[in-house]
Amino acid sequence: MNESVWSKSVDMPKFPKLEGDIKTDVLIIGGGMCGILCAYYLGLHGVDYTLVEANRIATGITSNTTAKITSQHGLIYNKLIKSLGVEKARLYLAANENAVKEYQRIAQSIDCDFEFKDAYTYSLSDVTKIEDEISALKVLGFEADFFDELPLPFKIKGAIRFKNQAQFNPLKFIAQISGGLNIYEHTFIRDISAHVAISDNAKITADKIIVATHFPFINTHGAYFIKMYQSRSYVIALENAPQISGMYVDEKQNGMSFRNYKNLLFIGGGDHRTGKNSGGWGELRNFAAKYYPRAKEIAAWATQDCMSLDSIPYIGHYSKNTPYLYVASGFNKWGMSSSMVAASMLCDMVRGIKSPLEALFSPSRSVFTPQLFINGAETIANFIIPTTKRCPHLGCALKWNKFEHTWDCPCHGSRFTENGELIDNPATGGISIEK
């Protein structure tokens, strides 16, 4: 199994398994960055909470991030102004800028390799997209700069720079802030009814429940199975490669990203819908061999991202009919800043404090976008494929991932080992593999 640089470098604290029924004011399900931050802030405000994690904290998607903390989410602001207007675009920018500042505040008192870096989004083919994004940011009152060259081994048409963004070691960060939090590990929640969550060994009664499980696993509310899909991408870490002094990402979803960590260069890319054919790490290794022939690969890993319909996360009430149930998902490859935005919002909401961001991030906002119909068509296509290997989530045909030796669901992104054990949700159990 491939392992990230973070997982190799940090020993995470351990927490007990929940044995027996409990009651709590707020239950948080999921021990990734978002869930841990929710627990951290609720604790600071004196709220009675409990966090449960199915495995070990920060061993899922969070352990495989490239850990860029930025409000620069590709070329999003021109799109937001056109689709939602200036004020909502400004709200989105302010929320994510505040996230960068809040990570800085916390990092001042802990060791997590936090450092400020400028962030760049570049285009290989279309300078107009870059110029339009800079113009949009001027409308929002945010300073961004144009570049026509970068310290990368290829030519670009143009790039946009956000100053004073950041990067860090996410597992060092979580290891530092999780000590003393009320956490139970190895406590897998299989179902939720009104104010009650059920695991194999316990029943948890809670006034309010936050679902921070990456992909929401409850199908009876919210229709997340049609509002999202999962995207898989790959990372390699190289020694003896250049220090590039910034964070760089292609404006195209399937483009490449770059950042340094200490003496290493991370190269990311190879994006594809989970369950679809891919080249795995091949594209990245071919690139490294061509442009950094003296570099040595010391780690390789893959990650998975929940993609929303309109490039905005789903944060707030799980559905209109579940006032006690909250969710944070659909972070669209920007999980670090979005986790902080979500934790801040949900900490206010469960305490009855109105957040000005609720309408912008509402999971119940309009879903009529072209991506909705693509998601629907993908699900239908994989329902009718004749196969015995089906995802227990909603019955889609599973596809064999020859690079990672896993069974992957192209509908909603659940993944299983070659022996059928669950790796990634929204499925809540494994599959039977005939030998």
The domain that holds 419 is classified in CATH as 2.102.10.10
| Same domain assignment for residues 215 and 314 | yes
Measure the CA–CA gap between 409 and 431, rounded to whole angstroms.
Answer: 12
Measure the CA–CA gap between 116 and 165, rounded to whole angstroms.
Answer: 6
| Same domain assignment for residues 257 and 402 | no
pLDDT band (50, 70, 90) for residue 30: very high
374 has a pLDDT exceeding 90: no
pLDDT band (50, 70, 90) for residue 43: very high
In a domain, 213, yes or no: yes
> What is the sign, positive or negative, of the torsion defined by CA atoms of 308, 310, 314, 319?
negative
Percent of the chain with pLDDT over 70: 94
Lowest mean pLDDT among 90-94, 145-149, 298-302, 397-401: 397-401
375 has a pLDDT exceeding 70: no
Q: What is the pLDDT of residues 405-421, one digit of tens each?
A: 888 888 877 888 888 88
166 has a pLDDT exceeding 60: yes
For range 161-174, the mean pLDDT: 98
Q: What is the pLDDT of residues 67-76, one digit of tens each?
A: 999 999 999 9
> Roughly how many angstroms between the first and final C-alpha of the chain, as a whole number?
21
The domain that holds 223 is classified in CATH as 3.50.50.60
Q: What is the pLDDT of residues 44-67, one digit of tens each?
A: 999 999 999 999 999 999 999 999
Which residue segment(s) compose the domain that 256 sits in? 229-303
For range 358-378, the mean pLDDT: 78
Q: How many domains does the chain have?
A: 3
**3-state SS class at 261:** strand
| Same domain assignment for residues 233 and 296 | yes
Lowest mean pLDDT among 31-35, 102-106, 226-230, 247-251: 226-230
Which residues have a Cβ under 8 Å from the Cβ of 287 and sit 6 or more positions away? 256, 267, 269
In a domain, 317, yes or no: yes
pTM above 0.85, yes or no: yes
What pLDDT is recorded for position 95? 98
